[in-house]
Amino acid sequence: MTAPRERPAPPGTDALADLLFVLDLEAIETTIFRGHQTDAKRLRTFGGLVAGQALVAAGRTVAADLHVHSLHAYFLRPGDPTRPIVYEVDRIRDGRSFATRRVIAIQHGEAIFNLSASFHVTEAGVSHQKAMPDAPSPESLPTFQERWKHLAETDPDWYHWPRPIDQRHVDAPSRERIVREPRQQLWFRTIAALPDDPLLHACIAAYASDMSVLDTALIPHGISWDDPGFMGASLDHAMWFHGPFRSDEWLLYDQESTVSGGARGLSRGEMYTADGRLVVSVVQEGLMRLRTP
């Protein structure tokens, strides 16, 4: 990794240092890697972390001129946040312009996650894109601390939880339980500058993509993750990377949920750079199970 670009690091940057540490996988063999975790207080491993680590493992086995353009993943079992995760990479195909990898994440002798990723050399071609939707600037929106300051005393563990990603919600998040159409927008970037490593920026986007997309399916029902009787989890996740971007610069994450039913909800999102380029598309189906409290 090259040195990060200059940007003042705010208090709490240790959360980003922890994220970079867990994304820097330990190589056990040429196609086997170990991913560590630093957030043992969670009930289960955050799905975005597993996706990010699996993408790192896949990317470590392809040539430097190949860049990820798509990934498709299934969350099979809850991860244990107190134990490392082993990633086994299968070199499915190495072509002249594309390479395909399959990654299995293993804990306690069982597969907990499966990822397929495709990598592509940079090529010129015709281009078009959907126009970036209107959104207020991130600097005009409240920070996490400002939006949730009323919970600093009533829910201090959640409020003070170290967060490596700076999120600025345009709309009321699902935790506010305001029933409305299943759409939301937010800006995000890392809380400090990152090294100039395209794979790392893609992995950070994969990590951040799982932080809010399923929430969009909860909005029309007035449900929040901490409601008694609600159980939510990522089931499968797909991403397409359309062009270069930096995850330490503001990205607009425009999201909508098109359907829910049968204890599942489908959401999709698009990530735009501040100058309007559509750089990532996301689709996720998640578990939305309601039980009697």
- What are the catalytic residues? 210, 234, 284
User: How is 222-285 classified by DSSP, letter by letter?
Assistant: T--TTSTTEEEEEEEEEEEE-S---TTS-EEEEEEEEEEETTEEEEEEEEEETTS-EEEEEEEE
Other beta carbons within 10 angstroms of residue 273's beta carbon come to: 18
Burial class (CB in 10 A: 0-12, 13-18, 19+), 110: exposed
The whole-angstrom separation of Cα 7 and Cα 10 is: 9
Treating both helix axes as pointing N-terminal to C-terminal, what angle do 198-209 and 47-59 enclose, rounded to 10 degrees? 160
Contact 276, 129 (CB under 8 A): no
Token couple for 90: 């299968």
Which amino acid, 93? Answer: R
Token couple for 224: 């929040």
Which amino acid, 62? Answer: V
How far from the centroid of its chain's Cα atoms is residue 193's Cα? 17
The helix (H) or strand (E) run that includes residue 27 is: strand 26-29
Token couple for 282: 């996301």
Other beta carbons within 10 angstroms of residue 74's beta carbon come to: 15
